[in-house]
Structure 1
Amino acid sequence: MSATEADGALAGLHVLVTRPAHQAEPLCAALTAEGALPVRFPVLEILDPVDSGPLLAVIDRLDEYDIAVFVSPNAVVKAMNLIMARRTLPPTLQFAAVGRVSAKELRRFIGRDADIFPPRKFDSEALLEQPALQQVAGKRIIIFRGGGGREHLGNVLKERGAQVDYAEAYRRGRPRADVDVLLRAWARGEVDIIAVTSGEGLRNLFDMVGKLGQHWLRKTPLVVVHERMAQLAEELGFKEPPVVAAEASDAAIVEAIRQWHKKRT
């Protein structure tokens, strides 16, 4: 361990990082910079749609839409890579992002800030509060999302009079994992807190670890990124209420863990 790691605010703390493998490194690096010891255990993998035909068809007629909404960073990356490879961006299309990380990814592709995104809370409810989405009667809106995503955003926009279509830019799968490695880490006391960033990820983790692992899991502190996930954790039988980070960004997760660790030491 380096001197920086030894002196960090999270020195020696074992944090189970459950982000998909291709997205875990920035969070692991941020934790390591604070002295924590990340334990990588992906509970989701991001896959292409089984049939990309409907997504490509939407991209080809993107000029028909007034607003394109991206519900996650994965939706941005998967959809925008295809859009940029296939066509030019419609000049009148407005871009909306649910969260700060999604907005940051959009900026990378379009070279400017998204037209619509919440300045503080980062969920569908906060996006729906934005002035640009209040008077949408007659507007055509395309929502880029993962397979089986929440319907709330689209339903509310339809209630406001918009014509809403969905485009599934990716699907989520459950990766194969060596659960024995995680069980041994628990037995050695090397899982102090778990960071999970979606309800589906939490359910996957619960199922992946099996009966024995669930015994350890329910006793392990949890940091999540939305109150809905805290409710799910309660339903799954977690002993302690989860720590809820301000948003799903790496910085917010690290800060939530830092505050939790400070209170218990």
Structure 2
Amino acid sequence: MHHMDKPLKGRHVLVLRAAHQNAAQCERLAQLGAQAVALPALEIEPVTEINAEDYWSLKDSIQNIDTYQIVIFVSPNAAEFSYEWIDAYWPQLPVGVDWIGIGQQTCKRLQSLDIPAWSVANGYDSESLLSDARLQNVAGQRVLILRGQDGRRLIYDTLTQRGAKVDYRTVYYRRCPRYSEQVIYEAVVAHPPAAILATSGEVLTNLLSIVGQLSTEQRQSIFLSLLIVPSQRIAELARGLGFTRVRVASGPDDESMVQAIIPANELEQPA
């Protein structure tokens, strides 16, 4: 095949997305000739009766979801897991609820599940959602935010300041996976990655705790890799953590993240 068709030929790229979400990035990298190395830096565990002090409050809010004027899903995972709950209690969706996905991907996921959600046209974070005209006059409205545990508090705080009555409900837990030293060594040291795809600040901090058992010298390779992140906020976090080559992708979707690697002049040629 012509070299231009495989611009990432022979390069190892570390993919940190959760296991159930990393297929698209890995596939796309393979098409471009790269060796995708999946090291999920996040595990997603739904709230169930067994693991959860959060179970009963979530169940209560879902059963009474028709009492909320606004329901906000903060991620595709939140959409996915909340849908199973909503579907169980509401064979037909209640009317009069404004369904909101925090970004395009969350919104698409909801629409594919027949929840008529909207998102801000050109944003995918709390800031862009909060600046939307439709969320300015919320005084006296009840708002439900469905999310993973311990997310950012910005939406809650801002809508509360605007006079809304806001409930947070945890729908899933995010955990840092554990790996054997050999798996970590293979992924990071045996083939130092040319690039790393980090979709969130959390997977980055998790990566650092995952490689924590390596020696300082062995860990060094990840700080020298080209790091692709989806936003300026995460880029600043990354620099603070010691990453030296940070590039912000044009968006958080898989295609934008992978495309951001391709100006390959910044990648070292493979030996």
Structure 1 residue 65, shift from structure 2 partner: 0.2
Label 1:29 to 1:103 Cα distance change in 2 as closer, same or farther (>3 A): same
* 1:93 and 2:97 correspond: yes
Once the two structures are superposed, the pairs formed by residues 55-204 of structure 1 within 5 Å of their partners are: 55-87=58-90, 88-110=92-114, 112=116, 114-115=117-118, 117-204=119-206
Q: Sequence identity of aligned pairs in percent?
A: 36
Deviating more after overlay: 4-13 vs 152-161 = 4-13
* Long gaps (5+) in structure 1: none
Contact conserved, 2:73 with 2:145, CA < 8 A, in 1? yes
Query: Which TM-score applies when normalising by structure 1?
Result: 0.91
Q: Deviations over 1:187-233 (max 9, x none)?
A: 44441111111111111100111242432222222111122221221
Once the two structures are superposed, the pairs formed by residues 212-227 of structure 1 within 5 Å of their partners are: 212=215, 213-227=218-232
Q: Deviations over 1:93-128 (max 9, x none)?
A: 11111111101111111254x23x111121110111
Q: Which residue of 1 aligns with 2:239?
A: 234
* 1:244 and 2:242 correspond: no
Contact conserved, 1:5 with 1:36, CA < 8 A, in 2? no
Label 1:185 to 1:170 Cα distance change in 2 as closer, same or farther (>3 A): closer
Structure 1 residue 176, shift from structure 2 partner: 2.3
Letter in 2 for 1:65: Y
Output the CA distance in 1 between the equivalents of 2:87 and 2:262: 39
Output the CA distance in 2 between the equivalents of 1:5 and 1:91: 55
Contact conserved, 1:41 with 1:177, CA < 8 A, in 2? no
SS of 2:71's equivalent? strand
Letter in 1 for 2:113: F
Label 1:170 to 1:4 Cα distance change in 2 as closer, same or farther (>3 A): farther
- Cα RMSD of the aligned pairs, angstroms, is 2.0
Output the CA distance in 2 between the equivalents of 1:141 and 1:111: 17
Output the CA distance in 2 between the equivalents of 1:32 and 1:9: 11
Aligned residues: 259
Letter in 1 for 2:68: Y
Deviating more after overlay: 182-191 vs 65-74 = 182-191
Output the CA distance in 2 between the equivalents of 1:33 and 1:127: 34
Contact conserved, 2:39 with 2:187, CA < 8 A, in 1? no
Deviating more after overlay: 49-58 vs 18-27 = 49-58
Letter in 2 for 1:39: V
Deviating more after overlay: 61-70 vs 127-136 = 127-136
**Misfit runs of 4+, over 6 Å:** none
Output the CA distance in 2 between the equivalents of 1:256 and 1:133: 32
Contact conserved, 2:231 with 2:248, CA < 8 A, in 1? yes
Q: Deviations over 1:112-152 (max 9, x none)?
A: 4x23x111121110111111111111111100011001100
Output the CA distance in 2 between the equivalents of 1:236 and 1:24: 24
Contact conserved, 1:17 with 1:40, CA < 8 A, in 2? yes
Q: Which residue of 2 aligns with 1:39?
A: 37
Label 1:142 to 1:4 Cα distance change in 2 as closer, same or farther (>3 A): farther
Contact conserved, 2:14 with 2:187, CA < 8 A, in 1? no
* Long gaps (5+) in structure 2: none
Output the CA distance in 1 between the equivalents of 2:181 and 2:197: 17
